[in-house]
Amino acid sequence: MKPITTCLWFDTQAEEAAAFYVSVFHDAKLGPVTRYTEAGPGPAGSAMTASWRIGDMGFFGINGGPLFPFTEAVSFQIPCETQEEVDYFWDALTAGGGQTGQCGWLKDRFGLSWQVTPTALTRLLSESDAETARRVTEVMLGMEKLVIADLEAAAAG
């Protein structure tokens, strides 16, 4: 079976979004862009679709109009080993009009949801006793961007 590709419906920004994501992720590569012809339905010469890869994951953006906006029902999780990675992705993805959310969630300027998640959080929650996990969860729930040092301090008591 061939790899599955994530298809994202944009209003008119698929080409711009593809270029943005390729600029944010160091292991990303831009793919082909197709353009509308005089047959429509979009303006002739404007991008109809854009494709890109982030690592081994393929993405396909289509400019289909405003009918289907993104919701938080679908998000992409970025596992981060260090605070520097958390800070980088948080700042890059919220730049230019993105919105911050609770517990490491954000929306980029296109409205796509991301979870910038330190791998330390998963470790602290899965390898801890119930009381430690409670403290870590309580601290996490009070954060927007996750701060590894604060999560580890909560785990330590």
Q: For residues 61 and 8, what is the distance between their CA atoms, to the nearest angstrom?
A: 5
pLDDT at 128: 85
What structural domains does the chain harbor?
A: 1-67 (3.30.720.100), 70-157 (3.10.180.10)
Over the chain (157 residues), what is each successive 10-residue block's mean pLDDT? 95 98 98 95 95 97 96 97 98 98 98 98 94 97 98 96
Quote the pTM value: 0.94
pLDDT at 40: 85
C-beta of residue 97 within 8 angstroms of C-beta of residue 86: no
pLDDT at 24: 98
CA distances in angstroms from 113 to 7, 75, 116, 125, 136, listed in the order given? 14, 5, 10, 23, 23
